């Protein structure tokens, strides 16, 4: 294992070094939060794929393949579909807005009255996403070094907090590109073919497993529908995803690069399910489906390769964790704290704003590590986060982009009604039930339409300014800077 340990340590040291390098580039608010809005198609595609394909997509995706066969790909597949939908239909408009957060977009569209409430909902979502990603370090470091759960979370979380705090989005972009390459080599090019060969090939897999393992819909239609509702729609509105769209240097980069990243996710989904299916042939009686990834890596891969694949799993977790962390800190600082204290800092104070955002990342990071140590049920926490996000914010955001008649009162009412109803429904049906997000979303939609139609239309001047920003002609908060990154 000495070679494997060396690979991992070198990888982690590289992440910290990139954090230090990113700090030298992040000299303004735009550089720190959205990488100066300068990413070209290559870097944009890699970083977007990296953030959406986290530990749940890698370890969890293989686990679903172990449990359900090829249909276990649906969870990650719906993430890819969401990214494709965002890129094709919405990313160009989002990129042209030149904002930093989803709540700023809502303020532009509805006239400046939606920020704090929507910010609180988005902050809760990004916080829980960062927490659940951080918890995943315990599994990986346990396999690597047989570490105590708390120690593993502190080590993994501290590394992410360090490079995110140092260089902001520039550091995260650079580390995500490395993580994207490591995941591609480790999971797609190494683990996938080795797992299939070790299982005896597809013919042997079909001979040893029930036929439902090769049924594309074997996981169940209701489960697939729920995945679409939560993950596909969640991709359309999450701050962690939008903040990456804001990094694109043009709307064309956002559309093209996101489409490439979404297609990559579809391939990654199928690969994870195939690996899990192969693991079922080799280890039919594992105590937990989520143990499939670690087991096949630990027992079947040669020295060195094992270290690289474990680094790929670590990369998957770190990319999601860092993206969620900077999103959480950005929302906390820009949408909640600055509004509550009644002072939005002017553009001329960019350097001071970098320090402020850096402090928020550090504070949020320490909080995330503490919550991750205390929290045990990852699935429930993530379910609560996505239910709140989809039920509370999907309708006001898409309504603002697609329906001219939507009003600020309708948006605020939809956020409150959707958020409160989904909490109450989870209390009644259970956190993991499907009904809360179904009914919560319907309530949010009904309230949005009824209240919008019952109140005065949005001021014509607000809509005119909104259309100008959507067309890329409005006043931008930060001037573009050269050179661009490819």
* Cα 270 from chain centroid (whole Å): 19
C-beta separation of 61 from 76 below 8 A: yes
What is residue 39's three-state secondary structure?
A: strand
pLDDT at 364: 94
For residue 49, give both structure tokens: 């794929």
C-beta separation of 176 from 326 below 8 A: no
Which parts of the chain register pLDDT below 50?
343-351, 477-486
DSSP assigned state of 337: I
CATH of the structural domain 1-336+355-376, one choice from 3.90.550.10, 3.40.50.300, 3.20.20.210, 1.20.1730.10:
1.20.1730.10
Domain positions in the chain are 1-336+355-376, 379-471
Average pLDDT in the chain: 86
* Nearest-angstrom CA–CA distance, 14 and 37: 24
pLDDT at 263: 97
* Nearest-angstrom CA–CA distance, 40 and 486: 4
pLDDT at 115: 64
The residue among 227, 272, 239 whose CA lies nearest residue 86 is: 239
pLDDT at 262: 96
Q: What percent of the chain has pLDDT over 90?
A: 41
Q: Residue 345: CB partners within 8 Å, gap ≥ 6?
A: 338, 352, 353, 356
First-to-last C-alpha distance (Å) of the chain: 37
pLDDT at 448: 96
CA angle at residue 234 from 247 to 437, to 5 degrees? 160
pLDDT at 104: 87
Quick count: other Cβ atoms within 10 Å of Cβ 215?
13
């Amino acid at each position: 294992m000495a070679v494997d340990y060396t690979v991992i340590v070198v990888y982690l040291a590289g992440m910290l070094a990139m954090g230090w390098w990113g700090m030298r580039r992040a000299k303004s608010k735009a550089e720190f939060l959205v990488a100066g809005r300068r990413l070209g198609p290559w870097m944009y595609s890699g970083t977007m794929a990296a953030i959406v394909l986290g530990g749940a997509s890698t370890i969890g995706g293989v686990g679903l393949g172990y449990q359900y066969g090829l249909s276990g790909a649906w969870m990650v597949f719906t993430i890819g579909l969401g990214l494709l939908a965002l890129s094709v239909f919405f990313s160009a408009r989002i990129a042209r807005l030149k904002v930093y957060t989803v709540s700023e977009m809502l303020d532009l569209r509805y006239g400046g009255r939606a920020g704090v409430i929507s910010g609180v909902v988005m902050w809760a979502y990004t916080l829980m996403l960062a927490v659940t990603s951080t918890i995943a370090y315990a599994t990986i470091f346990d396999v690597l070094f047989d570490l105590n759960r708390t120690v593993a979370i502190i080590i993994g979380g501290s590394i992410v907090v360090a490079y995110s705090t140092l260089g902001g989005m520039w550091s995260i972009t650079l580390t995500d590109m490395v993580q994207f390459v490591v995941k591609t080599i480790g999971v797609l090019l190494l683990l996938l073919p080795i797992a299939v060969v070790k299982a005896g090939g597809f013919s042997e897999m079909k001979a040893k497993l029930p036929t439902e393992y090769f049924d594309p819909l074997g996981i169940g239609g209701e489960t697939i529908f729920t995945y679409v509702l939560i993950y596909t729609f969640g991709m359309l509105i999450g701050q962690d995803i939008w903040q990456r769209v804001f990094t694109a240097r043009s709307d064309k980069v956002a559309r093209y690069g996101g489409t490439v990243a979404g297609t990559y996710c579809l391939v990654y989904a199928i690969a994870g399910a195939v690996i899990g299916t192969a693991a079922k042939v080799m280890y039919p009686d594992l105590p937990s489906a989520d143990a499939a990834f670690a087991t096949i890596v630990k027992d079947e891969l040669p020295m060195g390769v094992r270290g690289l694949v474990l680094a790929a799993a670590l990369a998957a977790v770190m990319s999601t964790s860092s993206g969620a962390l900077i999103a959480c800190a950005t929302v906390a600082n820009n949408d909640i704290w600055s509004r509550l204290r009644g002072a939005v800092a002017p553009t001329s104070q960019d350097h001071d704003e970098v320090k402020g955002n850096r402090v928020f990342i550090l504070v949020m990071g320490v909080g995330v590590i503490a919550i991750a140590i205390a929290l045990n049920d990852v699935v429930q926490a993530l379910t609560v986060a996505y239910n709140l996000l989809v039920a509370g914010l999907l309708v006001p955001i898409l309504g603002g982009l697609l329906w001219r008649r939507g009003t600020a009162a309708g948006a605020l009412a939809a956020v409150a009604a959707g958020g409160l109803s989904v909490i109450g429904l989870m209390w009644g049906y259970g956190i993991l039930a499907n009904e809360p997000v179904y009914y919560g979303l319907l309530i949010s939609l009904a309230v949005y339409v009824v209240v919008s139609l019952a109140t005065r239309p949005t001021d014509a001047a607000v809509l005119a300014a909104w259309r100008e920003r959507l067309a890329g002609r409005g006043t931008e908060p930060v001037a573009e800077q050269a050179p661009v990154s490819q």
